[in-house]
Amino acid sequence: MSALPVAVTCGEPAGIGPEIAAAAWAELKGDVPMLWIGDPRHLPGGTPIAEIADPAEAVRVCDTALPVFPHRFAGPVTPGTPDLSLAQGVVDAIRIGVDLVRSGSASALCTAPIHKKVLQDGAGFAYPGHTEFLAHLGGDVDVVMMLASDQLRVVPATIHIALSDVPSALTPGRLRRVIETTATGLRERFGIAAPRLAVAGLNPHAGEGGAMGREELEWIGPMIDEIAQSGLDVSGPKSADTMFHAAARETYDAAICMYHDQALIPIKTLDFDRGVNVTLGLPFVRTSPDHGTAFDIAGKGIANPSSMIEALRMAAKMAAA
Ligand SMILES: NC(=O)C1=CN([C@@H]2O[C@H](COP(=O)(O)OP(=O)(O)OC[C@H]3O[C@@H](n4cnc5c(N)ncnc54)[C@H](O)[C@@H]3O)[C@@H](O)[C@H]2O)C=CC1
Ligand SMILES: NCC(=O)COP(=O)(O)O
d(CA 188, CA 154): 17
Q: Please give the angle made by the CA atoms of 289, 270 and 164, to the nearest 5 degrees.
A: 75
Ligand 1 environment, Cβ below 6 A: 16, 20, 113-117, 130, 277, 288, 291-294, 296-297, 303-304, 307
Which pLDDT score is estimated for 217? 97
DSSP 176: H
Q: Tell me how far apart the alpha carbons of residues 93 and 42 are, in angstroms, rounded to a whole number.
A: 13
pTM score = 0.95
Q: How far is CA 117 from CA 124, 202, 265, in A?
A: 9, 28, 21
Q: Give the helix/strand (H/E) hosting 108.
A: strand 108-111
What are φ and ψ of residue 279, in 5° steps?
-95, 120
Give distance in angstroms: CA of 298 to centre of ligand 1: 10
Alpha carbon of 103 to ligand 1 centroid (Å): 31
The pLDDT, as a whole number, for residue 1 is: 53
Whether the CA torsion 102, 35, 1, 289 is positive or negative: it is negative
**Phi-psi sector, 283: left (phi>0), alpha (psi -120 to 50), beta:** alpha
Ligand 2 pocket residues where CB is under 6 Å: 114, 129-131, 145, 264, 277, 288
Q: Could you tell me which residues are annotated as the binding site for substrate?
A: 130-131, 268, 277, 286
Cα–Cα distance, 110 to 4 (Å, whole number): 13
E strand or H helix at 287: strand 286-289
Q: Ligand 2 centroid to 167 CA: how many Å?
A: 20
Taking CA atoms, 41 is separated from 14, 21, 65, 193, 272, in Å, by: 11, 14, 15, 45, 29
The pLDDT profile of the chain, 321 residues, written as one tens digit per residue, is: 558 999 999 999 999 999 999 999 999 998 999 999 999 999 999 999 999 999 999 999 999 999 999 999 989 999 999 999 999 999 999 999 999 999 999 999 999 999 999 999 999 999 999 999 999 999 999 999 999 999 999 999 999 999 999 999 999 999 999 999 999 999 999 999 999 999 999 999 999 999 999 999 999 999 999 999 999 999 999 999 999 999 999 999 999 999 999 999 999 999 999 999 999 999 999 999 999 999 999 999 999 999 999 999 999 999 998
Which residues 6+ apart lie within 8 Å of 177 measured at CB?
142
From the centroid of its chain, how far is CA 314?
11
β-strands 276-280, 108-111 pairing: unpaired
Query: How many Å apart are CA 83 and CA 89, to the nearest integer?
Result: 11
**Cis previous bond, 237, omega within 30:** yes
Measured between alpha carbons, how far is 195 from 233 in angstroms, rounded to an integer? Answer: 7
Structural domains of the chain, ranges and CATH numbers in brackets: 1-141+282-321 (3.40.718.10), 144-280 (3.40.718.10)
Q: Report the pLDDT value the prediction gives residue 30, as an integer from 0 to 100.
A: 84
Amino acid at 270: L
